[in-house]
Amino acid sequence: MATTSCDVAIVGAGLGGCFLALLLGRRGRHVVVIEQGPSVPSAGADFLKPPGLRVLARHGLADLVERHGLRRDTIRYYHDGDPIQECRFPDGGFLIRPYRELVELIYTSCAMEGVEFWFDAGIADIAVGEGAVEELVLGDGRRLRAGAVIGADGTKSAVRQALGIEQMTMPYERLLMRVATVPLSASVAQLNRLYFSSEGWLTYLYPINRDQARVFVGLPPEDDKEIFQDGIPALLDELKKFVTDSSDAFNFLQPATWQRIKVSALRVAAYHKGNAALLGSAAFACHPMTGMGMSYTLHDAEILADVICAAGDDPELLDRLLHARYEPRRHAHRQLIDYGDALASTFRDREAYLAAFRPDLHVHGTAAVPEQVSEQVPEEPPALQRA
Ligand SMILES: Cc1cc2nc3c(=O)[nH]c(=O)nc-3n(C[C@H](O)[C@H](O)[C@H](O)COP(=O)(O)OP(=O)(O)OC[C@H]3O[C@@H](n4cnc5c(N)ncnc54)[C@H](O)[C@@H]3O)c2cc1C
């Protein structure tokens, strides 16, 4: 079968892959996005925090994503039924928009920039030689050669594996998560409420549009069988112990379909090798309680787009710029992962949770406005171990 050549091959059409494709397409790069699924992914995040909104605004996308999204500016936190604090988001707050809708908007914008998407395109082989990715071979025999290759292919990244980059996955074993989509009730329409209990449970309720709400329940794994496999009524008995201001949502919980979600943190030993780099969940994952994964991924895509365009067709310059400008992102990611760990490990204990809570990271993160592409040499990456 024929071999296709392009400037940049991106594996994965999630938020990271689509946004990077858009930025590069706008700058005249020939981009091919390879996605194993039949369309952009459907499961993922709902909250876009201020740093991510600012990234989209810098690229003229703010109006587009906000058009059918919901703006919120407050999250109220409870512990064993008592309100303990509110986190306020200044300057317009954050946006709620289901992941698939958000990614689809960016994907649709890519069409105008000539980005090619190959759906249902699983990777059969990634040929790596001389420290660079030479060719991608698809399951159907198609071959793709690219000046730069981006692994935006999620936590189990095939690109990362082909590059031999070590990874460390840290499942949050003490907190099993379930999620359901239910009709919107008045209390959920009024305010986002996140409840914790000293018995290791959490419940988060928020609207996703004018008619529906999302409900996350986190619970110790030993309680999951009793509650979700042997009968939902026990769920309401448990929730009534610590969910105090959202009882109008209870009637919707029993008939709901509860999906189980695996939540893990992920760190990797390097973010690039030669002409290839990792983006989004292929490079890092933090606890969703931070609500920041997408914001950091969008900012990372900006940096990658700058680096790839600055390097032009020079593979050595690309390698150097990725080292100097992209590898240092691990510091911000590490801070976010550590913060997610701190929230997940303290929420049972009211005082410890309040002490761990960082409004600055919660609201603004550490994502800064991108600097000019330079060739400063970063510090050596820290050892791949948990802080
Ligand atoms: C439960 C949960 C809740 C979250 N909530 C929030 C939140 O509220 N706010 C926030 O900012 N962040 C949140 N996050 C984090 C956020 O979802 C991620 O940061 C973001 O989705 C990363 O995007 P991505 O493009 O890397 O990955 P993904 O969306 O995972 O995309 C990866 C894509 O690669 C494709 N793929 C995988 N392997 C291959 C292959 N071999 N060949 C071709 N394609 C492949 C997949 O099919 C998929 O389409 C949450 C995460 C979780 C788990």
- Number of H helices and E strands in the chain, helices first, is 14, 20
pLDDT at 224: 86
pLDDT at 227: 85
CATH assignment of 3-73+95-171+264-349?
Answer: 3.50.50.60
Q: Which atom of ligand 1 is nearest to the CA of 44?
A: 17
Residue nearest to atom 15 of ligand 1 (CA): 293
**14 C-beta closer than 6 A to ligand 1:** yes
Tens digits of pLDDT across the chain (387 residues) = 689 999 999 999 999 999 999 999 999 999 999 999 999 998 888 999 999 999 999 999 999 888 888 999 999 999 999 999 999 998 889 999 999 999 999 999 999 999 999 999 999 999 998 888 999 999 999 999 999 999 999 999 999 999 999 999 999 988 899 999 999 999 999 999 999 999 999 999 999 999 999 999 999 999 888 888 766 778 999 999 999 999 999 989 988 899 999 899 999 999 999 999 999 999 999 999 999 999 999 999 999 999 999 999 999 999 999 999 999 999 999 999 999 999 999 999 999 999 999 999 989 887 443 444 444 444 444 445 443
Return the closest-CA partner of residue 15 out of 295, 381, 267, 309: 295
The class (CATH top level) of 176-261 is alpha beta
**336 C-beta closer than 6 A to ligand 1:** no
Which ranges in the chain belong to alpha helices (H)? 15-26, 50-58, 62-66, 99-111, 158-163, 186-190, 221-224, 233-239, 250-253, 293-311, 315-321, 329-346, 350-356, 359-363
pLDDT at 57: 95
* Distance separating alpha carbons of residues 125 and 298, to the nearest angstrom: 28
Q: Which atom of ligand 1 is nearest to the CA of 43?
A: 29
**293 C-beta closer than 6 A to ligand 1:** yes
Residue with tokens 């029993």: 254
Residue nearest to atom 12 of ligand 1 (CA): 293
**55 C-beta closer than 6 A to ligand 1:** no
* Distance separating alpha carbons of residues 187 and 15, to the nearest angstrom: 31
To test the pocket of ligand 1, the residue of 36, 260, 299, 339 to mutate (highest count of ligand atoms within 8 Å of its CB) is 36
Cα of 108 from ligand 1 centre, angstroms: 18
Q: Which atom of ligand 1 is nearest to the CA of 281?
A: 26
* HEC readout, 262-290: CCEEEEECCCEECCEEECHHHCCECCHHH
* CB within 8 Å of 353: residues ≥ 6 apart: 79, 84, 196, 343, 346, 347
pLDDT at 384: 57
Residue nearest to atom 39 of ligand 1 (CA): 153
pLDDT at 386: 43
Strand-pair category, 167-171 with 176-183: unpaired
* Torsion of the alpha carbons at 229, 232, 236 and 238, rounded to the nearest 10: -20
Domain ranges of the chain: 3-73+95-171+264-349, 176-261
pLDDT at 231: 66
**9 C-beta closer than 6 A to ligand 1:** no
pLDDT at 88: 95
**300 C-beta closer than 6 A to ligand 1:** no
Residue 360 buriedness (CB in 10 A; 0-12 / 13-18 / 19+): exposed
Residue nearest to atom 53 of ligand 1 (CA): 263
